[in-house]
Amino acid sequence: MKWVARTEKTGIKVKEASNGKTDKSKTKEAWTEVTGDTPRQEESLEEFKSNWSEVPICDAPSSKDYYFDSYAHFGIHEDMLSDQVRTGAYMKAILNNAHLFKGKTVLDVGAGTGILCLFAAKAGAKRCIGIECSEIAGFATAIAKQNGYGDIITYVHGKVEEVEIPVEKVDIIISEWMGYFLIYESMLDSVLFARDKWLVKDGLIFPDHAKVYLAGIEDADYKEEKFGFWNQLWGLDYSPMQPCALQEPVSDIVDKSAIATSSECIIELDLNKCTLQDLDFVVPYKLKAARKDFLHAMVVWFDCSFEACSPPVVLSTAPGKASTHWKQSVMYFKDPIVVHEGETLSGMLAVRKNAANPRDIDVKLSYELTGKYAVPTTVQYYRLR
């Protein structure tokens, strides 16, 4: 996973009026003087979504160069299979709801080593078909035979959008399609393609719902440790590296105590109904400061739920929950923001597939603070790849 970010506008300090309140007209004048532009909050959601900068300050090999090849390596499958939250949620959802699988035909999109097909077969599925594009498909076939399910499980090697499967329709689609920021890698696109082509009417999808959340965090120590590294190295000035490093968000475990604002669900997906167009989105948000503190970054996490189950099974990647290999996604601000309890940090978040490589995600974040130390609208760009 690789993030690339570039700050488009930098916040400016605005003096308080003598009565202790921020003069909003002065804020706007100061912003225009420094940037030659009016505050971004005047943009509509549609304008914010369509007005992008195309050139990040850092560049790196695109994920399309190694996406499928990466899944041929054993390490990535070891990480996923050893993830107790991830694999345990699927096992619970499938085996504890065997009545939904008994006698059914099941399709696994992106089967990997075949663990989900094995769970479905164990739950009583009549037939399981796994589609896998990487060379790991050969090992999945051997594993199915080794466990006595060789006659039930079949693997098709290739891309979902290009292969044919040995049945006309399936009753259930299972898939572990989630990536960083939920939709990184665009594997959900393939699940929706399979749904529209092969799933019977009123068929089931495991999981079938997902939510993405956003919150502000205090993270001074880690930010200094990670980005202060570039100030001096071996007696040499490495500061030219710092802007790029500073603007490259990370995937990491965020302690729940670091969250200093309310959280907000920024998108909810129903896999039974959503379309590809829903995966490029723009949303407004408002976060309330929970205490007097600094904000250094935004943290993003997701929950997925198996609502066909009774009771529903929830796989959560939230801070404070048992950690997963997804961890959380952290987008750092260029400058820290000072907040007081009850103040509002608001803005817009736009997400789209990268034009050059749809497996990459471009993220555009605006934020402004209304409060004692007001921050005019600031926009940063990020790229997940």
User: Domains, the chain, ranges and CATH?
Assistant: 3-55+210-384 (2.70.160.11), 71-176 (3.40.50.150)
Q: What is the mean pLDDT of residues 327-337?
A: 92
Confidence of residue 247 (pLDDT cuts 50, 70, 90): low
Return the pLDDT at 9: 35
pLDDT at 64: 46
Quick one: pLDDT at residue 34?
A: 32
More confident residue, 16 or 238: 238
Least confidently predicted of 53-62, 170-179, 225-234: 53-62
Q: Is the model's pLDDT at 184 over the cut of 60?
A: yes
Contact criterion met (CB below 8 Å) for 45 and 282: yes
Exposure of 257 by Cβ count < 10 A (0-12 exposed, 13-18 middle, 19+ buried)? exposed
16-20, 180-184, 261-265, 288-292: which has the minimum mean pLDDT? 16-20
Report in angstroms the alpha-carbon separations of 262 from 59, 220, 252, 289, 346: 33, 19, 20, 7, 11
Residues in CB range of 284: below 8 A, 6 or more apart: 45, 346, 347, 348
Q: Could you report the per-residue pLDDT of 264-285, keeping only the tens digit for each?
A: 999 999 999 999 999 999 999 9
The answer to whether residues 39 and 376 touch, using CB atoms and an 8 Å cutoff, is yes
- Give me the mean pLDDT over the 10-25 stretch: 35
Instruction: Verify whether residue 185 is a known catalytic residue.
Output: yes
> Is residue 15 scored above 80 in pLDDT?
no
Angle between helices 137-146 and 115-122 (to 10 degrees): 30
Tell me the pairing of strands 361-370 and 344-353.
Answer: antiparallel
List, in order, residues 6 or more apart from 319 with CB less than 8 Å away. Answer: 253, 254, 255, 256, 258, 259, 299, 301, 328
Kindly name the residue from 8, 16, 176, 307 that is annotated as catalytic: 176
Count how many residues are written for the chain.
385
Query: Of 78, 135, 185, 341, which is the active-site residue?
Result: 185
| pLDDT greater at residue 291 or residue 224 | 291
Looking at residues 6-25, what average pLDDT do you find? Answer: 35
- Of the chain, the percentage scoring pLDDT greater than 70 comes to 80
Cβ contacts of 252 within 8 Å, gap of 6 or more: 222, 327, 328, 330
pTM of the model: 0.82
What's the chain's average pLDDT?
83
Is it the case that residue 341 has pLDDT exceeding 80?
yes
pLDDT of residue 81: 61
pLDDT band at 84 (very low <50, low <70, confident <90, very high): confident
Q: Can you tell me the mean pLDDT for 344-351?
A: 96
Q: Please give the pLDDT value at position 40.
A: 46
Mean pLDDT for the stretch of residues 26-49 = 53
- Which is higher by pLDDT, 358 or 252? 252
